[in-house]
Structure 1
């Protein structure tokens, strides 16, 4: 299964707001912990090492460009 990078949400803005709201009121440490736990939960849900590898590479590439 190839990595899908196009939004699959009916309302991508609402998905973004949910992620922002989940971090609201948290310290930087708590927000980082939340992000890490969310990544692990979603990676486990995907369950495909090739997709995970591709997603990590893409994230690293875009993080380096920022």
Structure 2
């Protein structure tokens, strides 16, 4: 199983009227996470979040694929 690049955000059991709503909700919460942080603190919170989510995913092949896609075209 490879990296899922299809829309996959939501809360279990919650039904959304529009498919993009969970993405909008996540983006708003991500912006709120950074509110009132310095640039250095913002970098730190991003690094912590990445490590927490990477640990949750756990599959190194999926993580390698995600890193390659994230770096592509930079």
What is the TM-score of this pair, normalised by structure 1? 0.88
The root-mean-square deviation of aligned C-alpha atoms, in Å, is 1.0
Structure 1: gaps of 5 or more residues: none
Q: Over residues 33-65 of structure 1, what are the superposed CA-to-partner deviations in whole Å (9 max), with x where a residue is unaligned?
A: 000000000000000000000000000015x0x
Separation in 2 of the partners of 1:16 and 1:5?
Answer: 17
1:20-35 equivalent positions in 2, closer than 5 A: 20-35=31-46
**Structure 2: 5+ residue stretches without partners:** 11-21
Runs (4+) of structure 1 exceeding 2 A deviation are: none
Higher helix proportion (structure 1 or 2) = 1
Tell me which of the two structures has the higher relative contact order, counting C-alpha pairs closer than 8 angstroms and 6 or more residues apart.
1
